[in-house]
Amino acid sequence: MTEMADVVIIGSGIVGSSVAYHLAEKGCSRVLVIEREAHQGKGSTGKSMGGVRAQFATSVNIRMSLYSIDFFSRFDEVVGHPADYRAHGYLFCATSERHLEYLKTNRERQIALGLKNVELVSREDIAQFVPQLRVDDVVGGTFCPTDGFVDPHSVMMGFMLKARERGVRLWLDTEVTGIKVEPSLEGRLTFARTARVTGVLTSRGFISTRLVVNAAGPWAAEVARMAGADLPVEPLRRQLVPTEPFEKLPKRFPMVIDMSTGFHFRREGKGILLAWNDPEETPGFKEDFDPTFVEKILTHAASRVPCLADAEVNPRRAWAGLYEITPDHHAIIGPAPNVEGLYFVNGFSGHGVMHSPASGRITADLILDGHSDLIEASQLSVKRFGEGRMLEETAVL
């Protein structure tokens, strides 16, 4: 007998799991999630830093964060599983008037959209958060106390466990190798090159379905190509370096972002987790940690927090993962233009964990209702790239 599903979701990371959860919550549970790995979380989700913030530059990202952070704050109660949301805040530190003006402009937009608690802070305020920070060149910053961290693996598991309770199926160890399409009715009538989805080919056989959600993270462009669709999502390596236990910094402090270099850090257990976006990194499926990165990041760390020069680092505990980058650093959510029944929820450009609640909800709304009242979803359509409607997000970490 041919396997059938109302919706097939390709990828069981935090985004695919959230889509499954939101579909099931809306009453659509004949859903099959397909994951090629033997366990969930082997893609970008398991590599993430777990940061969540509403301090963004564009309205669409701010709105998605507001929905998502509120969701995280109620996650345990609503989903019945811990999200480990810690509202420790994000502290942006500006060292130039240009950066400070940028933070002020963003703050006005954030407040107008309902983020009431984002504060302008002075150099002295910043020094109180982390007294060990070098602040001689800092001109000010912003702090939002409801920004913070979650446990990405736990959020992903919570979404999937609840979805499965509602009847969603998950096939692990199963690779999607093709998406079957046939000419759509519109295509047949107009001779346009449009197709519609009829099923998915996998290492466990064929599944008949009219709806496929591409939640394949950094591999999303390959999956789109299986249906003959173009998707401008590229993998870009990001590397994180944890220190050994380090007591010279406070036990609790916000995520601190040094805007002069992009270096940022937060506490992770007894140690400190160091992050920096290497501008020399080039796109590609590079998932190995490069040991030469340790020296580069420690130089930035010690320049902003001199006592971090004493931190011990074991490069074998550092790791690399892939961001899924789009040309305007915003997600792509919504139907594929020329393939009826194919939906994208991809290209989070470093924000897929924090925006997972909103992206799952928007995708489920679009599939089941054709629109979402959370945001004007056409802004995130892949069509924007062909129509010159790019959304530039400059607050990318």
Q: Provide the binding-site residues for ligand FAD, judged by CB under 6 A.
A: 10-16, 34-37, 42-45, 47-51, 175-176, 215-219, 223, 238, 240, 321-324, 348, 350-354
Shorter beta-carbon distance to ligand FAD: residue 47 or 361: 47
Shorter beta-carbon distance to ligand FAD: residue 140 or 148: 148
CA distance 50 to 216: 19
Distance of closest approach, residue 41 Cβ to ligand FAD, in angstroms? 7
Two tokens, residue 248: 């010279």
Shorter beta-carbon distance to ligand FAD: residue 28 or 233: 233
Distance of closest approach, residue 196 Cβ to ligand FAD, in angstroms? 20
Which residues are CB-neighbours of 377 under 8 A, at least 6 positions away? 333, 334, 362, 365, 366, 371
CA distance 348 to 364: 17
Two tokens, residue 302: 């010690």
Distance of closest approach, residue 306 Cβ to ligand FAD, in angstroms? 25
Distance of closest approach, residue 328 Cβ to ligand FAD, in angstroms? 15
The Cα-based distances of 8 to 5, 143, 275, 331 in angstroms read 6, 41, 35, 20
Which residues are CB-neighbours of 224 under 8 A, at least 6 positions away? 214, 230, 231, 336, 342, 344
Summary count for the chain: helices (H), strands (E): 10, 21
Give the residue among 188, 216, 204 at the shortest CA–CA distance from 19.
Answer: 216
CA distance 18 to 356: 6
Shorter beta-carbon distance to ligand FAD: residue 28 or 345: 345
Distance of closest approach, residue 112 Cβ to ligand FAD, in angstroms? 23
Distance of closest approach, residue 303 Cβ to ligand FAD, in angstroms? 22
Shorter beta-carbon distance to ligand FAD: residue 135 or 297: 297
> Identity (one letter) of the amino acid at 218?
P
Shorter beta-carbon distance to ligand FAD: residue 100 or 354: 354
CA distance 331 to 34: 21
Shorter beta-carbon distance to ligand FAD: residue 135 or 361: 361
Distance of closest approach, residue 40 Cβ to ligand FAD, in angstroms? 7
